[in-house]
């Protein structure tokens, strides 16, 4: 059976009222794309309670943002984003004053929303106001010194000005991030109520944007169809006219469909499948180590025995890194073990922490720490990470037993580990997380500092905290790098958490699909894809 039977497809499009019949008849396989992912969006609104990662893939492709990150090419030829180069998207250009406090953005004159109405500065202001008026949005935007609607001013119909109290390196990246999508405010306001002034209910299930793709149909948890917005002006027109995005929870089924040519792209491939698919060579597998993302072994630095730095170092020397990397991750990623010990190697972070497996050193450190016969502890990980975490935990258990540390493994169902971490109740665990912005101080501020659960080691070194504060607005490059170097040294010497690796984002695709680009949020950007 020909799965992409022309007539059937045309009839489908016509019947569902998706497109004019004549257009549909011109449809060919070359112009439609079928994507399979593990989960689907639970909202089309980037800001809300419990909005999942797949939601980014939905709003990233159906909305525009004012700015976007540039593009660079990796050594293997894969396109990736360039954090340090911010370009205009909906804003065709922008100016920053010398004191860094005022940003003026000029909107593209011919840009329209999907309903044909022009994009105005009013829409932009409404959209930015909306971010700072929602708790989740505000906590993100405040990392870029944007906290109040007063900071967004409409200059004229095509110009908007953003003022910040002081120059902030994170203001522009925040505008290029996932939250500040530009809504068709007139349309959205029609659905706002007194109880819901920002139309959160309506925007959760509807798209009011002007992005490169329009939403045609959505069956929650099953599928989503998108069609190209032909009047899109903010970049080159996407290569595909229609996109069918389906949710297939089972990774093996996604893989099989791709290899048999039924699907064009399969997302979120488990490492072992990525390896064997690449070996078999029926399809293309693109694996990009996720920048900013990392998996690690966490220890509660406030509780014995992990409050002792020697214990943490002993564990860092006792982990069987290479085995874990080979057997659990199938080498799909960038190691964060090994490397230069004790001292910073450049100012990028995460970077390898400088620890290698050395049981002799581990045993010695443990004895020095006052645990010559070891101790008992529990190692937790989350159910959803089990494919990688389970083998990791078994290897950790086995290896630590050799220096006398007896580990019980605890697999925690999804929602529960977050709460345990929030209450700082987990002594020893495997987790993963990611920071969107590449600046090392941003990484340290979230993951090595503060009272939230994201400070995975509950690390509280006064010197480190002072440096985190100091680097926040540091504009002197040399001073900044000196401070970051010191923080990296501390992260290596005191090992509040043991970084393991940056896992690769493995995406499988037909050989005919080109233009794949890795983005900071790890979801698919559809506009650059095309069929060769």
419 interacts with other proteins by CB under 8 A = yes
> Minimum Å distance from CB 39 to other proteins?
9
User: What sign does the dihedral 119-124-125-127 (CA atoms) show?
Assistant: positive
252 interacts with other proteins by CB under 8 A = yes
159 interacts with other proteins by CB under 8 A = no
> Minimum Å distance from CB 229 to other proteins?
22
> Minimum Å distance from CB 418 to other proteins?
5
- Whose Cβ is closer to other proteins: residue 327's or residue 359's? 327
- Whose Cβ is closer to other proteins: residue 34's or residue 492's? 34
Site for other proteins in 207-226 (CB under 8 A): 219-223
Question: Measuring CA to CA, which residue among 103, 100, 91 is closest to residue 162?
Answer: 103
- From CA 52, how far away is CA 431, in angstroms rounded? 18
**What are the distances in angstroms from CA 105 to CA 128, 160, 185, 396?**
13, 5, 18, 52
Question: Measuring CA to CA, which residue among 353, 350, 333, 334 is closest to residue 292?
Answer: 350
204 interacts with other proteins by CB under 8 A = yes
Instruction: Considering only the stretches 11-19, 91-99, 113-121, 484-492, report the one whose residues sit in contact with other proteins under the rule CB under 8 A.
Output: 11-19
246 interacts with other proteins by CB under 8 A = yes
The per-residue DSSP string of 396-451 comes to: HHHHHHTTT-EEEEEEE-HHHHHHHHHTT--SEEEEEEE-SS--HHHHHHHHSSSS
528 interacts with other proteins by CB under 8 A = no
Counting runs of H as helices and runs of E as strands, what totals does the chain give?
A: 18, 21
The per-residue DSSP string of 271-305 comes to: HHHHHHHHHH-SSEEEEEE-TTEEEEEEE-TTSTT
Q: Which of 153, 433, 485, 493 binds other proteins (CB under 8 A)?
A: 433
What are the tokens at 82?
Answer: 């360039």
Q: Which of 249, 341, 346, 372 binds other proteins (CB under 8 A)?
A: 249
- Whose Cβ is closer to other proteins: residue 112's or residue 387's? 387
> Minimum Å distance from CB 528 to other proteins?
23
What are the start-end ranges of the E strands in 117-229? 152-156, 159-163, 213-219, 223-228
455 interacts with other proteins by CB under 8 A = no
42 interacts with other proteins by CB under 8 A = yes
- Whose Cβ is closer to other proteins: residue 123's or residue 264's? 264
Site for other proteins in 464-523 (CB under 8 A): none
Instruction: Considering only the stretches 160-168, 349-357, 443-451, 476-484, report the one whose residues sit in contact with other proteins under the rule CB under 8 A.
Output: 443-451
270 interacts with other proteins by CB under 8 A = yes
Beta strands across the sheet bearing 79-88: 67-73, 79-88, 517-518
- Residue 131 CA to chain centroid, in angstroms? 19
- Whose Cβ is closer to other proteins: residue 100's or residue 450's? 450
Q: Which of 157, 236, 304, 386 binds other proteins (CB under 8 A)?
A: 386
**Are the CB atoms for 182 and 66 separated by under 8 Å?**
yes
37 interacts with other proteins by CB under 8 A = no
- From CA 223, how far away is CA 211, in angstroms rounded? 19
- Tell me if the bond preceding 372 is cis, omega within 30° of 0: no
Instruction: Quote the longest CA-to-CA distance of the chain.
Output: 79
Query: How many residues sit in the footprint of other proteins (CB under 8 A)?
Result: 87
* Phi, psi (deg, nearest 5) at residue 273: -75, -40
The per-residue DSSP string of 27-66 comes to: --GGGEEEEEESS--S-SSSSSTT--HHHHHHHHHHS-BS
- Whose Cβ is closer to other proteins: residue 454's or residue 473's? 454
> Minimum Å distance from CB 111 to other proteins?
28
418 interacts with other proteins by CB under 8 A = yes
Query: Cβ of 89: how many Cβ atoms within 10 Å?
Result: 20
- Whose Cβ is closer to other proteins: residue 151's or residue 528's? 151
User: What sign does the dihedral 268-269-274-278 (CA atoms) show?
Assistant: negative
Site for other proteins in 323-362 (CB under 8 A): 323, 326-328
> Minimum Å distance from CB 178 to other proteins?
10
Question: Measuring CA to CA, which residue among 460, 484, 459, 461 is closest to residue 471?
Answer: 484
Site for other proteins in 130-149 (CB under 8 A): 135-136, 139-140, 142-143
> Minimum Å distance from CB 452 to other proteins?
6
Instruction: Considering only the stretches 150-158, 240-248, 490-498, 508-516, report the one whose residues sit in contact with other proteins under the rule CB under 8 A.
Output: 240-248
Q: Which of 82, 356, 358, 390 binds other proteins (CB under 8 A)?
A: 390
Q: Which of 78, 256, 308, 461 binds other proteins (CB under 8 A)?
A: 256
11 interacts with other proteins by CB under 8 A = yes
Q: Which of 410, 461, 485, 493 binds other proteins (CB under 8 A)?
A: 410
- Whose Cβ is closer to other proteins: residue 108's or residue 284's? 284
What are the tokens at 75?
Answer: 């050594």
**What are the distances in angstroms from CA 450 to CA 299, 454, 460, 465, 514?**
15, 8, 8, 8, 43
394 interacts with other proteins by CB under 8 A = yes
434 interacts with other proteins by CB under 8 A = yes
527 interacts with other proteins by CB under 8 A = no
Instruction: Considering only the stretches 6-14, 181-189, 343-351, 514-522, report the one whose residues sit in contact with other proteins under the rule CB under 8 A.
Output: 6-14
What are the tokens at 434?
Answer: 């990611």
260 interacts with other proteins by CB under 8 A = yes
> Minimum Å distance from CB 221 to other proteins?
6
- Whose Cβ is closer to other proteins: residue 142's or residue 465's? 142
Question: Measuring CA to CA, which residue among 146, 206, 175 is closest to residue 86?
Answer: 175
């Amino acid at each position: 059976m020909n799965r992409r039977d022309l007539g059937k497809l045309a009839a489908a499009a016509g019947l569902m009222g998706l497109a004019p019949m004549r257009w549909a008849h011109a449809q060919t396989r070359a112009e439609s794309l079928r994507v399979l992912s593990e989960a689907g969006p639970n909202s089309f609104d980037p800001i809300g309670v419990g909005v999942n990662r797949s939601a980014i893939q939905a709003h990233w492709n159906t909305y525009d943002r004012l700015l976007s990150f540039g593009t660079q090419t990796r050594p293997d030829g894969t396109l990736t984003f360039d954090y340090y180069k911010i370009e205009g998207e909906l804003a065709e250009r922008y100016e920053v004053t010398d004191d860094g406090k005022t940003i003026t953005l000029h909107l593209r004159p011919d840009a329209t929303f999907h309903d044909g109405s022009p994009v105005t500065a009013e829409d932009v202001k409404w959209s930015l106001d909306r971010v700072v008026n929602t708790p989740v949005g505000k906590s993100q935007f405040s990392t870029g010194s944007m906290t109040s609607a007063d900071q967004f001013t409409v200059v004229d119909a095509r110009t908007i000005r953003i003022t910040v109290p002081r120059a902030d390196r994170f203001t522009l990246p925040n505008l290029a991030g996932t939250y500040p999508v530009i809504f068709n405010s007139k349309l959205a306001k029609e659905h706002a109520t007194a109880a819901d002034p920002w139309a959160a209910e309506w925007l959760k299930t509807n798209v009011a944007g002007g992005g490169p793709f329009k939403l045609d149909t959505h069956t929650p948890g099953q599928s989503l169809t998108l069609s190209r917005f032909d009047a899109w002006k903010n970049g080159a027109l996407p290569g595909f006219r229609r996109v069918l995005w389906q949710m297939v929870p089972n990774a093996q089924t996604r893989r099989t469909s791709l290899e048999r040519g039924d699907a064009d792209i399969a997302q979120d491939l488990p490492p072992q499948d990525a390896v064997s698919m690449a070996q078999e060579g029926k399809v293309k597998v693109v694996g990009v180590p996720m920048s900013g993302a990392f998996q690690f072994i966490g220890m509660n630095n406030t509780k014995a025995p992990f409050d002792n730095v020697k214990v943490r170092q002993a564990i860092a020397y006792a982990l069987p890194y290479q085995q874990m990397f080979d057997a659990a991750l199938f080498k799909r990623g960038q190691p964060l073990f090994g490397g230069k010990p004790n001292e910073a190697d450049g100012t990028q972070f995460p970077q390898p922490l400088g620890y290698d497996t050395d049981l002799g050193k581990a045993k010695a450190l443990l004895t020095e720490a006052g645990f010559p016969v070891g101790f008992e502890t529990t190692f937790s990980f989350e159910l959803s990470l089990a494919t990688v975490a389970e083998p990791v935990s078994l290897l950790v258990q086995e290896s630590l037993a050799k220096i006398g540390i007896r580990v019980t493994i605890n697999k925690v169902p999804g929602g529960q580990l977050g709460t345990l971490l929030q209450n700082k109740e987990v002594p020893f665990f495997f987790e993963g997380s990611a920071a969107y912005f590449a600046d090392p101080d941003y990484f340290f501020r979230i993951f090595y500092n503060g009272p939230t659960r994201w400070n995975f080691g509950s690390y509280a070194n006064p010197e480190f905290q002072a440096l985190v504060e100091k680097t926040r607005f540091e504009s002197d490059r040399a001073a900044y790098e000196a401070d970051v170097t010191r923080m990296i040294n501390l992260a290596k010497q005191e090992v509040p958490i043991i970084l393991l690796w940056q896992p690769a984002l493995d995406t499988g695709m037909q050989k005919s699909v080109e233009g794949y680009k890795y983005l900071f949020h790890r979801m698919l950007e559809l506009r650059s894809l095309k069929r060769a």
